[in-house]
A and B are shown apart, each in its own frame.
Chain A
Amino acid sequence: MKRTIAFKTLGCRLNQYETEALASQFSRNEYDVVEFEKPADVYVVNACTVTNQSDQKTRTFVNHASKLKHKPMVVVMGCMSPEQQKIFSDNSAITYLIDNEKKSGVFQLIDAHFKGELVEKEQLTADRFNYELTDPLFHTRSFIKIQDGCDNFCTYCIIPMVRGMAVSRPVDEIMDNIRQAVSNGYKEIVITGVNISRYYYEDVHFEDLIEQILNMPEDFRLRISSMEPDELNDKFISLMSHPKFCPHLHLCIQSGSDRILIKMNRMYTMPTYLKLVEKIKQANPLFNLTTDIMVGFPGENGADFEETAKVAREVGFSHIHTFKYSKRTGTRADRMPEQVPEPVKSQRSEVIRKIAEENRIAYFHKLLGMEQTILVEKIKNGRAQGYGEYYVPVKFAASNNVKENDLIKVKLTGIEECEDAFMIGEVIGF
């Protein structure tokens, strides 16, 4: 009989990627991956501790699984504060508690458990990159992890404490992983990690790695996931015109005020960020820039926030992931005075949300008439949807011969202005 396994993932894209890679490995090995709410033999919670609230949520899911009457196996893995680890290690319903270093070995551990073999979690190799490829079941794009950890120590962030210092994956392994993904049918490769611009392995810097990837003979397009703006140099910018490079970057800004950036210990100032934006826009005026903005950081006053709002408008980010600063025990910002009241944070967050909405529509207008090659993610009611090179969501009428994971050429002909605005395309080729 097939065993069933359910996953719950909290937190960032990297956690999501890691869960999906593990889930794929289970499903390739005769396990049924089911929803977390359904009965299962194993429940795996991939924990996150980025805010105090994430700790709470993690605990809620772990408690749910560990109180189930049929006494399933419960595995908790990922990012945990020392306090959280202590709570979980005292919970006898949790079968295994696994840190990020050993997370990639979860399949080995669980499978051996069911086969009656004895594998201690201490025997698992510590390897933050040893994940198998995700199944197209989860994504049309293949996420390739190139590094883990971060040593920037932004004052609001707990990640360096839980994911550890920056570690880069050997170039050869990355190349092999990409070759394998392409031969499995993936057409888009997404470079991912905690702080990817810090990639450095045996004298190969981030831009050198990207150059090598772009020059691979295999047929794919390359997308870079969220990144920090502090290590991007002219060589990287010159690579953006490569035909395989998707012209989109999620370049985290967090604040438009230098005073706040200094308090956050971000590694750039507004003039350097804007200089970078200018160079990118010079290379390609339509280049799609998206970002993260944090409102209500301790000490952020009205003038600081105005600067953020101004930059958000001026750069014209087509998407802004806005979040309200929330205290995280163990970070430097948690010990800072001048915490901003919650209603002020909400009001600032709303202002940024509105700017983001306006920016998005304005950006879509610039793309009207353009050709895009859409990687089809979903087809529903005769309508296909997916993203083009510029990473804007596009929907178009799909004939019967359009399938998921196809690359379809469309002309962008319209804009649907709704809560999740998207562009409308007309097929012009396969």
Chain B
Amino acid sequence: MDLKEQTVTKVDFKVQEVRLLTPSTYVLRFNRNNLSFKAGQYIRVGIPGNRQRREYSIYSGENDDFMEILVKEVIEGDISKKLKRMKEGDSLIVEGPFGFFNLNPTDVPTRKFYFFASGTGISPFHSYVKSYPAMNYTLIHGIKFIEETYEKEHYEDKRYISCTSRDEKGDFSGRVTKIIPIYPFEDDALFYLCGNSDMVYDVYNLLADRGVSTDNIFTEVYF
């Protein structure tokens, strides 16, 4: 019987690099190992000998020959701390890919996209942009401090808007929610929201209040 089994648990993943972007946030790179995925999907990552798994959006592009995830170390957390201490050659367990936070390829050349991210919620958008560099998007990134603009040089200047809530150094000062009532969004744009549930909920409601059809809003929640 030809069943479409979509899950894979693979063990032959080896860390290639841990790239620190801030004292607490890093990009973990490991070998691709033939894992095929669609930009926007996530994987479950674990450490050999530990039953715990955590979900991470894929940060790298569909065509990269390596895999990357962008992780923020959670002080009271577990796996995010352990992954940060990994060294080149260490083994990882990876399950997936999972999730439906994808782009519709037919929309990519024709539609305008707005991406709303909080913190490491920028990760799937990084993967979209690396996979489809010609897409027409604006990325609105909610962070606390200007140091958290994680690799903003990977996006065209005019397409990346930082919203800093704890300093005044961003392109916009305040939470991402503050920008919504004043920003001139196109009526038929597509909106992708990713990050903590409070941000996703607030932005979702504000967009709906502005008259955006909820069919055009897509969400991914981290915690």
Contact at A265–B205, with CB atoms within 8 Å? no
- Point out the residues of chain A lying under 8 angstroms from B98, CB to CB: 151, 153, 160, 165
Which chain A residues border B75 with CB–CB below 8 Å? none
Contacts of B6 in A (CB 8 A): 151, 165-167
What is the 8 Å Cβ interface bit string for chain B, positions 47-77, against chain A (1 contact, 0 not)? Answer: 0000100010000000000000000000000
On chain B, the residues within 8 Å of A138 by CB distance are: none
- Kindly provide the distance from the CB of B40 to the nearest chain A CB, expressed in whole angstroms: 14
Q: Does B208 contact A (CB under 8 A)?
A: yes
Asked whether, in the complex, the Cβ of B51 is within 8 Å of the Cβ of A167, the reply is: no
Bound state CA distance, A218 and B100, in angstroms? 37
Q: Which residues of A contact B1 (CB under 8 A)?
A: 127, 129, 170, 173
Q: Which of A160, A167, A267, A272 contacts B3 (CB 8 A)?
A: A167
A-B residue pairs in contact (CB < 8 Å), sample of 24: A127-B1, A129-B1, A151-B7, A151-B98, A151-B99, A153-B98, A165-B5, A165-B6, A165-B7, A167-B5, A167-B6, A168-B4, A170-B2, A201-B4, A259-B197, A262-B200, A262-B201, A262-B204, A263-B221, A269-B204, A269-B214, A271-B214, A272-B215, A336-B223
Which chain B residues have a beta carbon within 8 Å of chain A's beta carbons? Answer: 1-7, 51, 55, 98-100, 197, 200-201, 204-205, 208, 214-215, 219, 221, 223
> With A167-B3, A272-B214 as given contacts, are A82 and B51 in contact (CB-CB < 8 Å)?
yes
- Residue A164 interfacial (CB < 8 Å): yes
Q: How far is the CA of A200 from the CA of B100 in the complex (A)?
A: 15
Q: With both chains docked as a complex, state the minimum distance between the C-beta of B160 and any C-beta of chain A, in angstroms.
A: 25
Q: Which of the listed residues A83, A153, A160, A336 has the most CB atoms from chain B within 10 Å of its own CB?
A: A153
Does A258 interact with chain B (Cβ within 8 Å)? yes
Q: Are B197 and A262 in contact (CB under 8 A)?
A: yes
Give the CA-CA distance A269 to B219 in the complex, in Å: 11
Chain B residue with minimal CB distance to A263? B197
Is A164 in contact with B7, judged by CB distance below 8 angstroms? Answer: yes
* Closest chain B CB from A209 CB (angstroms): 14
Chain B hits for A267, CB < 8 A: 100
In angstroms, Cα B99 to Cα A29, docked, is 43
Min CB–CB distance A84 → chain B (angstroms): 12
Q: Chain B residues near A263: list those with CB within 8 A.
A: 197, 221
Closest CB-CB distance, B218 to chain A, in whole Å? 10
Which residues of the partner chain B approach A169 to less than 8 Å between Cβ atoms?
Answer: 3
With A151-B6, A153-B55, A258-B205 given, can you name 11 additional A-B contacts, CB distance below 8 Å?
A151-B99, A153-B98, A164-B5, A170-B1, A200-B4, A258-B201, A258-B204, A259-B201, A262-B204, A262-B219, A263-B221
Separation in Å of the A193 CB from the closest CB of chain B?
Answer: 13
Which 8 interchain pairs have the tightest Cβ spacing?
Answer: A165-B7, A165-B6, A167-B3, A263-B197, A259-B201, A262-B197, A262-B201, A262-B221
| Bound form: Cα–Cα A303–B126 in Å | 36
Q: Interface on A for B, CB 8 Å cutoff? A: 82-83, 127-129, 151, 153, 160, 164-170, 173, 200-201, 258-259, 262-263, 265, 267, 269, 271-272, 332, 336
A258-B204, A271-B214 known; A265 vs B4 contact (CB < 8 Å): no
* Complex alpha-carbon distance, A265 and B219, angstroms: 9
In the complex, which residues of chain A have a beta carbon less than 8 angstroms from the beta carbon of B100? 267
Shortest Cβ distance from residue A187 to the other chain B in the assembled complex, whole angstroms? 29
Chain A residue nearest to B205 in the complex (CB): A258
CB-defined contacts of A160 to chain B, threshold 8 Å? 98
| B8 closest partner in A (C-beta) | A165
Residues from chain A with a CB closer than 8 A to the CB of B5 are 164-165, 167
Residue of B nearest to A170 (CB): B1
Shortest CB-to-CB span from B214 to chain A, Å, is 6
Contacts of B99 in A (CB 8 A): 151, 153
CA distance A165 to B5 in the complex (A): 7
Of B3, B214, B221, which contacts A265 at CB under 8 A? B221
- Kindly list chain B residues whose C-beta atoms are within 8 Å of the C-beta of A83: 51
Q: Judging by beta carbons under 8 Å apart, are B4 and A167 in contact?
A: yes
Shortest Cβ distance from residue B70 to the other chain A in the assembled complex, whole angstroms: 19
Tell me, in angstroms, the Cα distance from A272 to B214 when the chains sit together.
Answer: 8
Report A165 CB to chain B, min CB distance, Å.
Answer: 4
- Give the distance in Å from the alpha carbon of A128 to the alpha carbon of B205 in the complex: 41
Name the residue on B nearest A83 (C-beta). B51
| A contact residues around B223 at 8 Å (CB) | 332, 336
How near does chain A come to B198, taking the closest CB pair, in angstroms?
A: 8
| Chain A residue with Cβ nearest B214 | A271
Return B114 CB to nearest CB of chain A, in Å.
Answer: 18
Cβ contacts under 8 Å, B200 to chain A: 262
Q: Could you say which residues of chain B place their CB within 8 Å of the CB of A332?
A: 55, 223
Tell me which residues across on chain B come within 8 A of A262, comparing CB atoms.
197, 200-201, 204, 219, 221
In the bound complex, CA of A322 to CA of B107 (Å): 40
A103 vs chain B, min Cβ distance (A) = 15
CA distance A271 to B205 in the complex (A): 11
Instruction: Decide: A271 near B208, CB < 8 A? Known: A165-B7, A262-B197.
Output: yes
Name the distance in Å between A300's Cβ and chain B's nearest Cβ: 13
Q: B residues within 8 A CB of A167?
A: 3-6
By a CB distance below 8 angstroms, the chain B residues around A127 are 1
Docked pose: A262 CA to B221 CA in angstroms: 7
Q: Which residues of B contact A128 (CB under 8 A)?
A: 3
Cα of A128 to Cα of B215 in the assembled complex, Å = 34
Interface-central residue, A83, A160, A200, A332, by most chain B CB under 10 Å: A332
Least Cβ distance of B52 to chain A in Å? 9
Chain A residues in 8 Å Cβ range of B208: 271
Kindly state the separation between the CA atoms of A166 and B99 in the bound complex, as whole angstroms: 12
A272 to B221 CA separation, bound complex (whole angstroms): 18
A26 CA to B208 CA, complexed, in Å: 56
Please give the distance in Å from A251's CB to the nearest CB on chain B.
18
A262 to B215, CA, bound (A): 15
Kindly report which residue of chain A lies nearest to residue B213, judged by CB atoms: A271
Complex CA distance for A267 and B223, rounded to whole angstroms: 16
